[in-house]
Structure formats: C-alpha cells, structure tokens
Structure 1
Amino acid sequence: MQFGVFTVGDVTPDPTTGRTPTEGERIQAMVAIARKTEEVGLDVFATGEHHNPPFVPSSPTTMLGFVAAQTERLVLSTSTTLITTNDPVKIAEDFAMLQHLAGGRVDLMMGRGNQGPVYPWFGQDIRQGIPLAVENYHLLHRLWREDVVDWEGRFRTPLQGFTSTPRPLDGVPPFVWHGSIRSPEIAEQAAFYGDGFFHNHIFWPPEHTKRMVELYRRRFEHYGHGSADQAIVGLGGQVFMRRNSQDAVAEFRPYFDDAPVYGGGPSLERFMAETPLTVGSPQQVIDRTLGFREYVGDYQRQLFLIDHAGLPLKTVLEQLDLLGEEVVPVLRKEFAARRPAHVPAAPTHASLLRAQQDAAQQETAQHSTAQQNTEGSTV
C-alpha cells in the first residue's frame, strides 16, 4: 500500500499570527514538503491544480518536474489534473515528458475541479462538465496508446494522423486515478477503463464514501477487469497530530475555524465525528485510518492533507515526522497483514511494464502454439 501527502496549495493567512505567506514562499514550502515526504519514507507527493487565488499550483507538471530532480524514489502525482479545462493533447505530452524526466515515477489523478469560474477562463461551459470529462479522457487514453490518432468529438478540433510526443516511457502510459467526491459518472468512467478511483474522503461521511467506492467496484468487475475487491482504490484524508490529543485539538482549532473550506460550518468536534478528519494523537490517526478498510475494503493508496488552512511550514514538517516515524510504519504492517493475496498493490511504472511484458510473452507463446498446431494438422 502506498502512503503519501497531497496539497491544494492554498495561500492562507496564519490565524494565530495574521501573517500571509507570499506566493513564492508557499511554492517553496510545497517543494520542501515534497522533499520531506521522501525523507521520512512516504511514497507519494501529489499537488492540486488551481488557476485562481488563493491557490498557487497552476502548473503541476512544472512543480513535479522540479521535485523529480530533487528526489530519487518519490512517486509524483496530481490531486487533481483538470480533465475538463485542459486540452487532452497537452496533458498527454506534458505527463509523458514528466515520465521521462522522472524515470517513470509519475501518475496522475483526473478531476473536473470544483471552481466554477475556471471553465470560461479556458473557453468551456461548466454545464458540460461531465461530457467534457468523458470525451477528453477518451481522447487522452487513445493518445497514450496509439502512435497515430484520427479523432473527432464535440469539444475540440479534429485530429488527423496526429502523434503525441514524446511517447510514454517504455510504451507504458502513466497510471490514471479518477478523482471524485460526488459524481457516480466518474466512478463509472474509472471502472470502464480499469483505472483507479480516488475518493477525496474529507468532506463527506463514511456512508457516502462507501456508496461511491462500492459503485466503482461493482462496475470494475462488470467490465471484466477483475473481481470487485481487486479494483484500485485511493482515499484522501486530513490529519493533525500532537502526541497529546488535547494539545492537537487546541492547536488546530483556530486553523479549522478560519479555513477557507471549513470555517463558518460545523464545529471541529462535529466535523471530526461526521467525517474522516482526524485531529489527535498518532495512535488515534492509526486507529481511524485502519477503520477506513471496514467500509471501503482493501485499498491501495492513502494520501493525507497536512498543509491546508495556513499551517506554518515548521508545523507541517513536524506532522511529516510523526507520519514517517510513528504512523505509517504501523499502517504499512497492519494493512499488509490484512490484505488478501489476490488483492493487487498500487500500480507503479515498474509493475505496469512487467504486466505489459508478460502479456506480450503470453501472446507470443499462444501464437507459436497455434502455428505449431496448424503445421501439425497439415502433415
């Protein structure tokens, strides 16, 4: 199972000091978080994509390329890549380039985004969000798998004899997660292609997450990609830890109360009771995270949001130390012990390449056997 962190890259005032970091400081902090993620032994760093204040990560591949040059084994991902307002040709080329630069340590999460004004900025209509997501991903999927593409759709100009460059590293496209909080159409899309399904798992109660994941699993099996429990699932979640749970709650409360996505709503205590937000001791984070398996089944990737709402970099790095030293080692051991042998691990470039090579060898063997049978029947 993979563990990591994701960031939305918000530039938010620290409610305890009133200071707002500059955009440059926030960008450098995200890079420092990525480096620390690898240092403490986690597997994945993922950045969001936003094109409006108060967020800074408007060019995820630029940031991930920079991080790739400063890390050795960290998987670089997004959370999310906007499949609705980005041209699928540009996505295909940008992420294939990043694949080559990072030696295959790349995957990405597709999403529609939750910022309505972004659509017209990129010449699109938010009312077409689902059709855009479906059509654009269909084209992207082909661009990575076909050397020459002829294509015509509703939302962009046709392609004739088009080749996306560079081609995916080793002929293996980046693995794709489809991220959604509430859209069953996206769970269906992930299942149709046999891709991963990532549920944000921050704002909604467990019952909702369970329904979305179960839908994806049923449809994954329906499309013949494997049994429902072999579907590839990822979860998000926000945590804040101190060794004493009361200290964690007291320190995090002002950040929660003033957070752009939390402030003005339910109390911190109610939010923790009704959603997966976990504020407390490392053991409480361990227990809560292990509990996710009870309603989503065995899953492959767990990402934590730890830098939201104006938390200073020093505090975020302390959170990473706690994750790396006290939380994730226990989670790795416990999840591994509970996972049945037939449930796959999270896909990586290496595992996808092996699968491709095995399939090619099997096809060659079958062709050779068929040829021998044909020759034998003519003797």
Structure 2
Amino acid sequence: MQFGVFTVGDVTPDPTTGRTPTEAERIKATVAIARKAEEVGMDVFATGEHHNPPFIPSSPTTMLGYIAAQTERLILSTSTTLITTNDPVKIAEDYAMLQHLADGRVDLVLGRGNQGPVYPWFGQDIRQGIPLAIENYALLHRLWREDVVDWQGRFRTPLQGFTSTPRPLDGVPPFVWHGSIRSPEIAEQAAYYGDGFFHNHIFWPAEHTRRMVELYRNRFEHYGHGKADQAIVGLGGQTFIRHNSQDAIKEFRPYFDNAPVYGGGPSLEDFAAQTPLTVGSPQQVIDRTLGFREYVGDYQRQLFLLDHAGLPLKTVLEQLDLLGEEVIPVLRKELDARKPEHVPDAPTHDSRRAKQDEEEESA
C-alpha cells in the first residue's frame, strides 16, 4: 500500500486570524509539505492543476520538477492533470521529461477538472468534456508507446509522422490513474486500458464510492487485465488529527465552517458521518481508514488532503508528523497483512520495468 498527501493548492484566508497567505508563501509551503511527506516516510506527493484564483498550481510539472531535486524516494504525482484542456502532445512531453529528471519517480492522475470556466480559456467546450477525455487519452497512450504516430481526431490538428520527445524513461510510460468523482465513463476508460482508477472520496458517501469502484473492477476483468480484485484502485480523503478527538474537532471547526467547498452546508459532525472526512484522534483515523477496505476491497494507494481551507503550514506539518509517526505505520501493517497474495502492489517505475523485461525475455 502506498500512502501520501495531495494538495489542491487553494489560497484561502485563515478564519482564525483573517490573514491570507501570498501566492509565493503558498507555493513555498507546498514544497515544504512535499519535503516533510518524504521525511515522515510517506510514499507519494500529488499536486492538483488549476488555472484560476484562488489556486496556485497552474504548472504541476514545474512544481514537481523542483520537488524532485529536493527529494530522493518520494513518488511525484498529480491530483489531477487536465486531460481535457491540455494538449495531449504537451502532456506526453512534459511528464516524460519529469520522469527522466526524477529517475522514474513519476505517475499522474488524469481528470476533467471541476472548474467550468477553464474550458473556453483553453479553446474547448465543457459540453465536450467526456469526449475530450476519451480522445485525448487515446492519443496520449499512443504517444508514449509508439515512436512514430499518425493521428486524426475531432479536437486537435492531425499528426503525421510525429515523435514525442523525450521518449519515456526505459521505454516505460508514467503510470496513469484516471480520476473521477462521479463519471462512470472515466471508470470505464481506466478499465479499458488496464490503468488505475482514483476516486477522490471526499464529498460522497461510501455507497457512491463503492459503486464507482465496483464498476471499474468489473470492467477491468471484462477487458481481460486480471480478476476484478486485482484492479488498481486509489482513494483520496481528508483528515485532521489531534491526540484528543475533542481538541481536533474544536480546532478544525472554524476551517471547516469557512472552507469554500464545505462552508454553509451540513455541520462538521453531519458531514463527517456521511463522508470519509475524519476529524479526531490517531486511532479514529486508523479505524476509519481501515474501514474503507470493507466497501472498495483491497486497494493500492491512499492519499490524504491536509492543507485545505486556510490551515497554516505549521499545523499541516504537525498533521504530517502525526500521520507518519502514529497512523501510517499501523495502517501499513494492518492492510498489508489483510491483502491476499494475488492482489498486486501499487505500480512503480521499477516494478513495471521489471515486468516489461520479463515479457521481452519470454517473447
């Protein structure tokens, strides 16, 4: 099981002080969070992609390339790369370059995004979101696997004899997770290619997550990539931890109440009861996270959102210490012990390169 953190990169006022960090402070804080994640033993750091205020991660590969130079082990990922409004040729080039710079410590989550105005800014129509996601990934998949590509589709100019450079490191493209909260077409797409499926798992009740993951697993088996329980699943989630659960609730409540995505809705207690949001002690976070397996099966990656809603950097780093010292070691031990032998680990560059070498030797 891989554990890590993801950020959406929001620039939100701290409701307890009224102060809003500058963009520069928020960017530097993101780097500090990634470095701390490696320090406390996490496996993955993932950044979102946004092109509008109040968010700062408009250039994920720039951010991740900078982090790659300051880390040694951390897998660098995205918590959405916009497959709809980015040119798949540029995605192929940018992430292959990052893959080389990071010695293979790269994968990415592809998604449509949730900011409607972004589409026309990049010359696209949000009403074509699903067709764009399907066509653009079909091209990206080929660009990473074929040295010379001829292509014609609906949404970009044709390609004739095109070679994307640099080629993927060791001939192994970055592993792709297809991220979706609510679109069964994206779960189908992930299953068709035998890729991973990442469910954000923050806003929706357990039953919705169960149905989406089950659809992906069943279609993964249908397309002949393995048994349903061997499909590659990742989950997101948000947590806030203090040693005493009441202290956690008291401290987090003003951030929850004023958060752009939470504020004005159900109470903290109601929201936590209906969704995977966990605010409490380390043991409560352990118990809640172990429970995810009951409705999605054995899965490969768990990412936590820690820096949303204006939480100061000092608090986020304290959260990382608690996760790294008291939560993740227990989760790792418990989940690894429960995983059947035939269920694969999360893909890495090294494991996929070894598999490719075996297939070439046996061919």
By the TM > 0.5 criterion, same fold?
yes
| Secondary structure, counterpart of 2:144 in structure 1 | helix
Query: 1:347 aligned to 2:342?
Result: no
| AA in 1 matched with 2:191 | A
> 2 CA distance for matches of 1:282 and 1:158?
53
Query: 1:191 aligned to 2:191?
Result: yes
> 1 CA distance for matches of 2:347 and 2:26?
31
> 2 CA distance for matches of 1:259 and 1:53?
15
| Secondary structure, counterpart of 1:304 in structure 2 | strand
Task: Map 1:170-319 to 2 at 5 A.
Answer: 170-319=170-319
> 2 CA distance for matches of 1:324 and 1:273?
25
**Displacement of 1:125 after TM fit?**
0.0
2:92 alignment partner in structure 1:
92
> 2 CA distance for matches of 1:101 and 1:337?
34
| AA in 1 matched with 2:10 | D
| Secondary structure, counterpart of 2:18 in structure 1 | coil
1:250-269 alpha-carbon deviations (Å, 9 max, x no partner) = 00000000001000100000
> 2 CA distance for matches of 1:349 and 1:264?
43
> 2 CA distance for matches of 1:332 and 1:45?
17
| AA in 1 matched with 2:128 | Q
1:141 alignment partner in structure 2:
141
> 2 CA distance for matches of 1:131 and 1:282?
43
1:109 alignment partner in structure 2:
109
| AA in 2 matched with 1:276 | P
2:332 alignment partner in structure 1:
332
1:158 alignment partner in structure 2:
158
**Displacement of 1:332 after TM fit?**
0.3
Task: Map 1:64-103 to 2 at 5 A.
Answer: 64-103=64-103
> 2 CA distance for matches of 1:35 and 1:201?
25
1:2 alignment partner in structure 2:
2
**Displacement of 1:129 after TM fit?**
0.1
1:94-137 alpha-carbon deviations (Å, 9 max, x no partner) = 00000000000000000000000000000000000000000000
| Secondary structure, counterpart of 1:351 in structure 2 | helix
Compare CA radii of gyration and give the structure with the larger one: 1
> 1 CA distance for matches of 2:81 and 2:264?
28
| Secondary structure, counterpart of 2:221 in structure 1 | helix
| AA in 1 matched with 2:2 | Q
1:21-54 alpha-carbon deviations (Å, 9 max, x no partner) = 0000000000000000000000000000000000
> 1 CA distance for matches of 2:362 and 2:266?
56
| AA in 2 matched with 1:106 | V
> 2 CA distance for matches of 1:359 and 1:135?
28
**Displacement of 1:341 after TM fit?**
0.2
**Displacement of 1:92 after TM fit?**
0.1
2:22 alignment partner in structure 1:
22
- What is the percent sequence identity of the aligned residues? 87
TM superposition outliers: structure 1 runs of 4+ over 2 Å: none
TM-score norm. by structure 1 comes to 0.96
> 1 CA distance for matches of 2:241 and 2:302?
17
1:39 alignment partner in structure 2:
39
2:357 alignment partner in structure 1:
357
| Secondary structure, counterpart of 1:320 in structure 2 | helix
**Displacement of 1:344 after TM fit?**
0.1
**Displacement of 1:274 after TM fit?**
0.2
| Secondary structure, counterpart of 1:279 in structure 2 | strand
1:217-236 alpha-carbon deviations (Å, 9 max, x no partner) = 00000000000000000000
**Displacement of 1:271 after TM fit?**
0.1
Question: Structure 1 unaligned runs (5+)?
Answer: 364-379
| AA in 1 matched with 2:127 | R
**Displacement of 1:272 after TM fit?**
0.3
> 2 CA distance for matches of 1:226 and 1:160?
35
1:246-298 alpha-carbon deviations (Å, 9 max, x no partner) = 00000000000000100010000000000000000000000000000000000
> 2 CA distance for matches of 1:273 and 1:105?
36
For the aligned residues, what is the CA RMSD? 0.2
Question: Structure 2 unaligned runs (5+)?
Answer: none
> 2 CA distance for matches of 1:351 and 1:180?
25
Q: Count matched residues.
A: 363
**Displacement of 1:207 after TM fit?**
0.1
**Displacement of 1:306 after TM fit?**
0.3
**Displacement of 1:175 after TM fit?**
0.1
| Secondary structure, counterpart of 1:342 in structure 2 | coil
> 1 CA distance for matches of 2:127 and 2:137?
17
> 2 CA distance for matches of 1:282 and 1:53?
34
| AA in 1 matched with 2:229 | D
| AA in 1 matched with 2:70 | Q
| Secondary structure, counterpart of 2:16 in structure 1 | coil
| AA in 1 matched with 2:339 | R
2:127 alignment partner in structure 1:
127
